[in-house]
């Protein structure tokens, strides 16, 4: 049963005259009071969504509507807050755009969706799910949560994501990972590149897969991991002296695969591509 | 026997065979010493309660999906011969619950079929509702490789992917100027399958501004599938190539799912 | 459409799985999934890793199912395979499978008395969730032995063979694991009593 609980709507109307068309840009603010482990969803067909941690137990959503051809629907059901853009007749990518700025409790679960984006989430500790078609996705300074991102073409960038369970998938977007560590870090892209800059943490499972995109990992000399890399049709190369076990079912095909251990093999790193290049570079 | 002695012999006596030499002294001391009696009792309770923990946890449905896909990829699952008329029983399958309804309902089974394509044929299986069994805190729209609509309708994937002559491969449209092929002559883009045409038709109707984007992405993933399939046809024992083919199907399923999330 | 009342036995499913029937694999999976996954989860305390390990255990089983001749119970075979998969993963990550110390240490001596006269027996009042949490807190070496013996029911001679330690070490590690669990459970009890 839906109900609007403890919602305060503050509407600020800003009229902006444009040279070529008289669009009335409108700003609206919504506030929701939630308990611990809240669940917040923001969905817009067109527009940016930026999420940061707020203080206390409030979810504060500031929506900037680009025209009167789009509305914002919002509802709260207990600890679940849902905000979504709703296109009206005749709306297009410009007139249907709504940009959101959102403040949430740091431990809230977050779901964002936008076709155009960008999508940004930073300094959070809850589980994040971000989906964009062409949206640029940026996740920064996140600890201990699940981070799930899927895009069609939008590039995905994760920076300073620690102790996370990370699953990223893009059809043709590039994936950039900088200082991303955790028990599980998986990234896949069909034709996009995957670039990792970090030390693969300690005790995690890392798997990067592409079809045609290149994979590059830039790691320090004191990295500690079991590496295995294979490209069916592409070339592979590495800068490390890899220690190989005596018996292994992984066969080395010169130039197409490598495997072995650096340091104490705290983490496992699997790099796979169908025809992309794979490079393991030492910083 | 002292309390220290009890501690020393406990590992042997607590759940091992009675040892005549120490058993009597042990039992006598434990009866008369509340602390040792509590200790022995507590350790026994811990051991017995622990037994109740076996087989209490249930894995997420995606585990079976992955196992089945891998079994098919490795050729361990083979189509049965036509069921003999004399066989009265057929294996029962896991009870399931109604699938989620989407206004573009047909996209869901096609996405599911694509995920399992090449390795997973399903007949008359109602769909499990994966969303309810996901771990708390994880978003409902989980990314590939475990989409919600697994095993919903008969798979059509092998037929849905155009099969060009093996020598003509991989016209890439994601990077318009890049032509990747295993032979010198690039191939013309094959006709989209019926499912892909339906998909693009729905996109044109409901999100016309996205049509070109979806079409180009569809061409790219189909090209990846053809490329991987052709390589695997020539190298059937290559497990990595098989996995890449699976991954390419998963990419296509991801494309359908992203569209599904938008077109409602 | 299948008749829900028509079921196949495990033996029938095994034979059909050898022929490559998918439904038979699925029956075997659902019959044993809880046991396998629970074992993996207890050993590694990480649901994601446990899923991967369970998946690998079943895959290894199904790959070799053609060689199963029924000399032992199927579940025993699967059980043993699962343990091997988990231990291999632990070794690969450099995590201790069994603790190295053979003798009781000073802090494991005589029954603890620091909780004082008000300390209550655990008998009949163990909260299962608390026990699970306590097991998760055990050091990996202790946890392995405890899970194999007290949760999964392996005997010490079997554990010794599986993990590569002596029977005496297995008994010693088990005892220390139980002592630690007792301490954790009492601590949790005391904390809960404080907060009400």
- In this predicted model, what pLDDT tens digit does every residue of C119-161 receive, in sequence order? 556 655 677 788 888 998 888 889 999 999 999 888 888 888 8
Min Cα distance C117 → chain B (Å) is 10
Q: Across the interface, do C49 and A268 touch by the CB < 8 Å criterion?
A: no
Tell me the chain C residues in contact with residue A265 when contact means C-beta distances shorter than 8 Å. 92-94
Average pLDDT, chain A: 87
C118 touches chain B (CB under 8 A): no
B113 Cα distance to chain centroid: 13
Min Cα distance C90 → chain B (Å) is 20
Q: Across the interface, which of A129, A133, A188 has its CB nearest the CB of B210?
A: A133
A172, A174, A208: best to mutate for the B interface, most B CBs within 10 A: A172
For the beta carbon of residue B70, count every other beta carbon within 10 angstroms.
Answer: 22
Q: Across the interface, which of B137, B247, B262 has its CB nearest the CB of A211?
A: B247
Long-range contacts of A162-168 (CB under 8 A, 24+ apart): A165/C48, A167/B143, A168/B143
Q: What are φ and ψ of residue C70, in 5° steps?
A: 85, 15
Q: Across the interface, do A183 and C52 touch by the CB < 8 Å criterion?
A: no
Q: What is the DSSP letter of A40?
A: E
Q: How far apart are CA B132 and CA B137, in angstroms?
A: 11
Secondary structure class of A132 (helix, strand, coil) = strand
Neighbour order of strands in the sheet with A80-87: A70-77, A80-87, A39-44, A109-114, A128-132, A146-151, A165-170, A184-189, A205-210, A267-273, A225-231, A257-262
Q: Across the interface, do B143 and A149 touch by the CB < 8 Å criterion?
A: yes
Q: Across the interface, do A205 and C52 touch by the CB < 8 Å criterion?
A: yes
Measuring CA to CA, which residue among B188, B184, B158, B172 is closest to residue B227? B172
Rg (CA), chain C: 20
C10 Cα distance to chain centroid: 23
Element (H, E) at A272: strand A267-273
Q: Across the interface, do A265 and C94 touch by the CB < 8 Å criterion?
A: yes
Q: Across the interface, do B254 and A134 touch by the CB < 8 Å criterion?
A: no
Mean pLDDT of B163-169: 36
Q: Across the interface, do C181 and B52 touch by the CB < 8 Å criterion?
A: no
**Under 8 Å between Cβ of A175 and A189:** yes
Bridge-based pairing of strands A128-132 and A146-151 is: parallel
| B134, two tokens | 């996901």
For the beta carbon of residue B181, count every other beta carbon within 10 angstroms.
Answer: 17
User: For chain B, how far is it from start to end, CA to CA, in angstroms?
Assistant: 77
C91 touches chain B (CB under 8 A): no
C9 touches chain B (CB under 8 A): no
Q: How far apart are CA B118 and CA C104, in angstroms?
A: 57
A109 Cα distance to chain centroid: 14
Fold of C106-195: Arc Repressor Mutant, subunit A (1.10.10)
User: By mean pLDDT, which of B115-129, C5-19, C81-95 is the weakest?
Assistant: B115-129
User: Does the ipTM exceed 0.85?
Assistant: no
Q: Across the interface, which of B224, B231, B241 has its CB nearest the CB of A190?
A: B224
pTM of structure = 0.53
A79, A133, A154, A230: best to mutate for the B interface, most B CBs within 10 A: A133
Query: Where exactly are the structural domains of chain A?
Result: 1-36+47-105, 136-283
Tell me the chain C residues in contact with residue B57 when contact means C-beta distances shorter than 8 Å. 34, 37-38, 41, 50
pLDDT tens for residues B132-142? 333 344 343 33
Measuring CA to CA, which residue among B82, B89, B63, B75 is closest to residue B120? B75
Q: Across the interface, do A113 and B138 touch by the CB < 8 Å criterion?
A: no
Q: Across the interface, do A153 and B224 touch by the CB < 8 Å criterion?
A: no
| C58, two tokens | 């079943």
Instruction: Report whether pLDDT(B102) > 80.
Output: no
**Under 8 Å between Cβ of A103 and A59:** yes
Give the pLDDT of chain A (283 residues) as one tens digit per residue. Answer: 444 444 444 444 444 444 344 557 899 999 999 998 899 999 999 999 999 999 889 999 999 999 999 999 999 988 999 999 998 888 888 899 999 999 999 999 999 999 998 999 999 999 999 999 889 999 999 998 899 999 999 999 999 999 889 999 999 999 999 999 998 999 999 999 999 999 998 788 999 999 999 999 999 998 999 999 999 888 999 999 888 766 555 666 778 888 899 988 788 999 999 999 999 999 8
Cα four-point dihedral sign C39, C44, C45, C51: negative
CA atoms within 13 A on the CB side of A45: 26
- Token pair 């990295």 in the structure block, residue: A223
For the beta carbon of residue A89, count every other beta carbon within 10 angstroms.
Answer: 5
Bridge-partner residues for A162, per DSSP? A143
**Under 8 Å between Cβ of A154 and A133:** yes
Min Cα distance A253 → chain C (Å) is 23
Q: What are φ and ψ of residue A270, in 5° steps?
A: -120, 125
Q: How far apart are CA B247 and CA B225, in angstroms?
A: 9
Q: Across the interface, do C27 and B91 touch by the CB < 8 Å criterion?
A: yes
Specify the CATH number for C10-92; select among 3.40.630.30, 1.10.10.10, 2.60.120.1090, 1.10.1740.10.
Answer: 1.10.1740.10
Residue in chain C lying closest to A184 (CA): C48
Min Cα distance A266 → chain C (Å) is 5
**Under 8 Å between Cβ of A124 and A164:** no
**Under 8 Å between Cβ of C120 and C47:** no
Query: Where exactly are the structural domains of chain C?
Result: 10-92, 106-195
Query: Where exactly are the structural domains of chain B?
Result: 3-51, 62-76+111-262
**Given pLDDT bands bounded at 50, 70 and 90, which one contains residue B16?**
low
DSSP letters spanning A56-108: TTEEEEEEEESSTTEEEEEEEETTEEEEEEEEPTT--TTTTBEEEEEEE-TT-
Measuring CA to CA, which residue among A207, A212, A161, A155 is closest to residue A186? A207
CA atoms within 13 A on the CB side of C141: 16
Q: Across the interface, which of A183, A226, A266 has its CB nearest the CB of C49?
A: A183
């Amino acid at each position: 049963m839906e109900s609007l609980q403890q919602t305060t709507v503050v509407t600020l109307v800003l009229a902006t005259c444009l040279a070529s068309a008289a669009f009335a840009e409108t700003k609206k603010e919504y506030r929701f009071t939630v308990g611990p482990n809240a669940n917040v969803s923001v969905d817009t067909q067109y527009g940016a969504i930026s999420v940061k941690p707020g203080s206390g137990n409030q979810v504060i959503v500031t929506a900037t509507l680009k025209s009167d051809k789009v509305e914002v629907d919002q509802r709260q059901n207990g600890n679940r807050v849902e905000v979504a853009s709703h296109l009206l007749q005749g709306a297009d990518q410009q007139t249907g755009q709504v940009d959101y700025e959102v403040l949430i409790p740091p431990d809230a679960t977050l779901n964002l969706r936008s076709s155009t984006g960008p999508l940004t989430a930073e300094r959070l500790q809850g589980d994040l799910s971000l989906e964009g078609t062409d949206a640029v996705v940026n996740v920064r300074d996140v600890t201990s949560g699940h981070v799930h991102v899927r895009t069609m073409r939008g590039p995905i960038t994760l920076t300073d994501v620690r102790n996370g369970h990370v699953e990223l998938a893009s059809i043709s977007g590039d994936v950039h990972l900088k200082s991303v560590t955790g028990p599980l870090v998986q990234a896949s892209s069909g034709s996009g590149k995957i670039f990792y800059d970090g030390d693969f943490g300690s005790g995690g499972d890392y798997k990067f897969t592409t079809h045609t995109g290149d994979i590059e990992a830039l790691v320090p000399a004191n990295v500690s991991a079991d590496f295995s890399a294979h490209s069916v049709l592409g070339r592979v190369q590495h800068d490390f002296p890899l220690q190989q076990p005596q018996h292994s079912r992984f066969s080395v095909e010169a130039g197409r695969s490598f495997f072995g251990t650096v340091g104490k093999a705290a983490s496992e790193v699997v790099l796979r591509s169908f025809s992309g290049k794979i490079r393991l570079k030492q910083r | 026997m002292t309390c220290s002695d009890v501690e020393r012999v406990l590992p042997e006596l607590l759940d091992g065979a009675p040892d005549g030499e120490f058993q009597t002294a042990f039992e006598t001391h434990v009866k008369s010493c509340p602390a040792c009696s509590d200790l022995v009792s507590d350790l026994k309770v811990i051991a017995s309660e622990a037994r109740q923990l076996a087989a209490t946890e249930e894995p997420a449905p995606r585990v079976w999906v992955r196992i089945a896909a891998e079994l098919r990829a490795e050729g361990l699952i083979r189509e049965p011969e036509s069921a003999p008329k004399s066989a009265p029983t057929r294996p029962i399958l896991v009870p399931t619950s109604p699938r989620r309804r989407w206004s573009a309902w047909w996209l869901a089974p096609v996405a599911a079929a694509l995920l399992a394509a090449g390795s997973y044929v399903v007949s008359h299986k109602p769909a499990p509702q994966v969303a309810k069994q996901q771990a708390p805190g994880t978003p409902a729209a989980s990314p590939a490789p475990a989409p919600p609509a697994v095993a919903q309708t008969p798979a059509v994937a092998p037929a849905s992917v155009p099969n060009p002559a093996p020598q003509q491969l991989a016209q890439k449209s994601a990077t318009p100027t890049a032509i990747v092929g295993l032979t010198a002559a690039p191939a013309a883009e094959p006709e989209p399958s019926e499912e892909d045409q339906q998909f693009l038709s729905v996109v044109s109707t409901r999100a016309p501004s996205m049509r070109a984007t979806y079409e180009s992405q569809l061409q790219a993933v189909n090209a990846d599938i053809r490329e991987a399939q052709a390589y695997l046809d020539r190298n059937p024992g290559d497990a990595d190539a098989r996995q890449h083919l699976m991954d390419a199907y998963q990419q296509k399923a991801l494309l359908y799912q992203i569209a599904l999330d938008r077109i409602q | 459409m299948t008749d829900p009342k028509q079921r196949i036995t495990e033996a029938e499913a095994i034979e059909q799985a050898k022929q490559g029937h998918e439904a038979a694999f699925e029956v075997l999976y659902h019959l044993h999934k809880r046991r396998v996954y629970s074992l993996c989860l207890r050993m590694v305390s990480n649901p994601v890793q446990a899923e991967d390990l369970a998946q690998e255990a079943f895959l290894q089983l199904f790959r070799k199912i053609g060689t199963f001749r029924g000399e032992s119970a199927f579940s025993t075979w699967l059980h043993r395979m699962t343990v091997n998969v988990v231990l291999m993963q632990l070794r690969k990550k450099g995590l201790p499978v069994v603790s190295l110390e053979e003798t009781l240490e000073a802090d494991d001596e005589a029954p603890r008395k620091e909780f004082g006269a008000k300390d209550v027996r655990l008998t009949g009042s163990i909260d299962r969730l608390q026990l699970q949490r306590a097991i998760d807190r055990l050091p990996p070496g202790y946890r392995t032995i405890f899970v194999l013996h007290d949760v999964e029911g392996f005997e010490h001679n079997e554990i010794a063979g599986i993990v590569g330690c002596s029977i005496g070490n297995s008994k010693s590690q088990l005892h220390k694991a139980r002592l630690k669990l007792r301490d954790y459970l009492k601590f949790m009890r005391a904390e809960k009593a404080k907060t009400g």
